[in-house]
Amino acid sequence: MAKAAGQATITINPMFSLLLWINAVLCVVTFMGMIWTSTEPDPLPKARERLFNACEHVFTMTAGAFIGLLGGRASIPDPKQK
């Protein structure tokens, strides 16, 4: 299907896409770390407890970063190019 003459296209910023991928990988890795550390029977050793707390902190930060990144992207999208 051919484009109509003068129709605007939306560009995808490659750096924003890279930032989303990095954030997604961090989110998944820390979530898997939380699952792995929680498989240990109670009581957790002190080192595993610290690892779980660190993973939980990074996971909540990356989840919040998704909301901030996508909300900011929605409010100020890249300019359309012709």
Residue 79 forms part of a structural domain: no
**pLDDT reported for residue 24:** 92
Residue at 54 is within a domain:
yes
- Cross-strand pairs, 9: 81
Domain-embedded: residue 65:
yes
User: Does some domain include residue 77?
Assistant: no
Q: Is residue 53 in a domain? A: yes
Low-confidence ranges of the chain (pLDDT < 50): none
Report the pLDDT value the prediction gives residue 13, as an integer from 0 to 100.
74
Q: 75, 25 in Cβ contact below 8 A? A: no
Q: How high is the pLDDT of residue 69?
A: 83
Domain hosting 34: range is 15-39+46-70
Domain-embedded: residue 4: no
- Looking at the structure of the chain, the number of domains it has is 1
Total-model pTM: 0.69
| 33 in any annotated domain | yes
